[in-house]
Amino acid sequence: MTDAIDQLLINALMQDSRRSLKALAQITGLSAPSVSERLRRLEERGVLRGFTVEIDPRSFGYQLQAIVRIRPLPGRLQEVERHIIATPQFTDCDKVTGEDCFIARLQVRSMEQLDTLLDRLSLIAESNTAIIKKSPVKRRLPPMA
């Protein structure tokens, strides 16, 4: 379980994972060595699994993002999963319950690239695609309390 100070640390790191120990110490009212020890314990317990950066795909020419719901053709589930994993433009994918087996995020440079990738997928699965216009909620934590 986490306490209020752990939650302050986690929230501060979610806002900026590059914050220094000194900055985290100021936020929590602890010393830098105490913050370091708390972070180490949070990592050991698996609460903190990594520190990351956020990249804007448009910086690399990926102008469109799409959510693709994927339903494998009969007997092709494993093949579809391998295909998704092997296609680097799929940047996120969840295996889900319901009519569709996978919900994936796809980054593409153009509509033509989207068509090409979906055409390859159509040999082994049915798909339904929605172009993302805006993401009003970025990755965030659920309530901790």
Please indicate, yes or no, if residue 12 is contained in any of the structural domains: yes
Please indicate, yes or no, if residue 143 is contained in any of the structural domains: no
Domain match, 65 and 103 both: yes
Domain match, 78 and 101 both: yes
Overall pTM surpassing 0.85 (yes/no): no
Instruction: Check which CATH number belongs to the domain holding 9 and give it.
Output: 1.10.10.10
Instruction: Check which CATH number belongs to the domain holding 61 and give it.
Output: 3.30.70.920
Please indicate, yes or no, if residue 85 is contained in any of the structural domains: yes
Task: Compute the half-sphere exposure of residue 66: CA atoms within 13 Å on the CB side of its CA.
Answer: 21
For the chain, 145 residues long, give each residue's pLDDT as a single digit of tens: 889 999 999 999 988 999 999 999 999 999 999 999 999 999 999 999 988 888 999 999 999 999 999 999 999 999 999 999 999 999 999 999 999 999 999 999 999 999 999 999 999 999 999 999 999 998 888 888 7
Residue among 94, 112, 106 nearest 65 (CA): 106
Domain match, 63 and 114 both: yes
| Full domain range(s) for residue 126 | 57-131
Please indicate, yes or no, if residue 138 is contained in any of the structural domains: no
How many structural domains is the chain composed of? 2
What's the CA dihedral at 73, 77, 83, 88 to 10 degrees?
Answer: 110
